[in-house]
Structure 1
Amino acid sequence: MKHLALLRSALPLTLLTLAACAEPIEERPDTEETALPVEPDGGIGDGAEPLPEILGKDIPRGLHGRWGLVPADCTSTLGDAKGLIDIDAEGIKFYESRAVVDEVEAKEATMIRASFAFSGEGQEWTRDMEWRLSDDGMQLTRSESGDEAIPDPLTYTKCEAEGEAS
């Protein structure tokens, strides 16, 4: 017990001695702080590449729209545009089926590589596909991999929006 009482009485003196050894705040050298500018994409202005899109299950905005394998797919009014696709954030509508993103492998503003879950005509299946937008934004290439994949890439051309002239 005596040791505990002695330790309690020495503690305030020990803390006071340690505090006296510390350098006073006003005598510490000023450090120069430089704020980095914020980049438009939310980066810190250090020239680093922007962060990639979060790998959510939405399809990148650059791929959205109506696309046809042949020009007639974009203009047919007979309902026979078998090569027409319509892409939005939630999926891809084909002639007689719909595909939604199941698992994303890679995604950028102009590309998505993912497993897609299809449904149509009373059936369900999956396909591993990559969709890549051309540099000019007018063509979209679809490549498949895995079992039952289409062997050669398919290239779709962007359909003109209603009211656009060629």
Structure 2
Amino acid sequence: MTRTLPLLTLTAALALAACSKQPEAPASTAAPTETEDVFQESPAPVEATEAGEGAAVGMSEIPETIRGRWGLVAADCTSTRGDAKGLLEVSDDQLKFYESVAKLGEIKEAGESRIRATFDYTGEGQSWTNDVVLDVQDDGKTMIRRDYGKDAMPGPLKYTRCA
């Protein structure tokens, strides 16, 4: 019995170790590109337009269709107490949030109702940069925001245009 107990303990420990071992990821032969570092998932390409065929040719501003006040919840649009934490105000060159501002940087893709660009954020004594996709849908009533990069918000955010 005294020889059997250590043998059983060793066998159980080996079995547990084998079950919990993560499979090794295949080794990549290529170095990561800048795009792989910036995006957790690839944003969908902007549909071609007459002027720029989906590229940011000559674009230096956020498209007019995207500009305005957007709320994550209805109260963000109607609050008079300054507590609209989900309010996003989009102008021609910036995104204004509750406690931060994001200045438009390089426009990578743009269309009539969609933009993908780099934004330089400042707020609460900090600075950071994210790539952002803003995509207006539902005849201008809804906007989907997706952030990409090290400090990105996980998952898309759905805003409703304020009346």
TM bucket, shorter chain: 0.5 to 0.7
Deviations 1:89-120 (A, max 9, x none): 02111101111111111011111101100112
* Partners of 1:99 and 1:74 in 2: CA distance: 20
Match of 1:121 in 2: 124
Q: How much is the aligned-residue C-alpha RMSD, in angstroms?
A: 1.4
CA contact 1:104–1:113 (8 Å) conserved in 2: yes
Q: Does 1:157 align with 2:163?
A: no
* Partners of 1:138 and 1:83 in 2: CA distance: 16
Percent identity between the aligned chains?
Answer: 45
Q: Secondary structure at the match of 1:136?
A: helix
TM-score under structure 2 normalisation?
A: 0.65
Of 55, 70, 75, which aligns to 1:67?
A: 70
Q: Secondary structure at the match of 1:77?
A: coil
* Partners of 1:55 and 1:74 in 2: CA distance: 33
Match of 1:109 in 2: 112
Match of 1:50 in 2: 50
Bigger Cα Rg: 1
TM-score under structure 1 normalisation?
A: 0.64
Amino acid of the structure 1 residue aligned with 2:112: A
* Partners of 2:123 and 2:89 in 1: CA distance: 15
Give 5+ residue unaligned stretches, structure 2: 1-48
Give 5+ residue unaligned stretches, structure 1: 1-48, 161-166
Q: Which stretches of structure 1, 4 residues or longer, exceed 6 Å deviation after superposition?
A: none
Amino acid of the structure 2 residue aligned with 1:93: K
Match of 1:93 in 2: 96
Q: Tell me: higher relative CO, structure 1 or 2? Use CA pairs within 8 A at least 6 residues apart.
A: 2
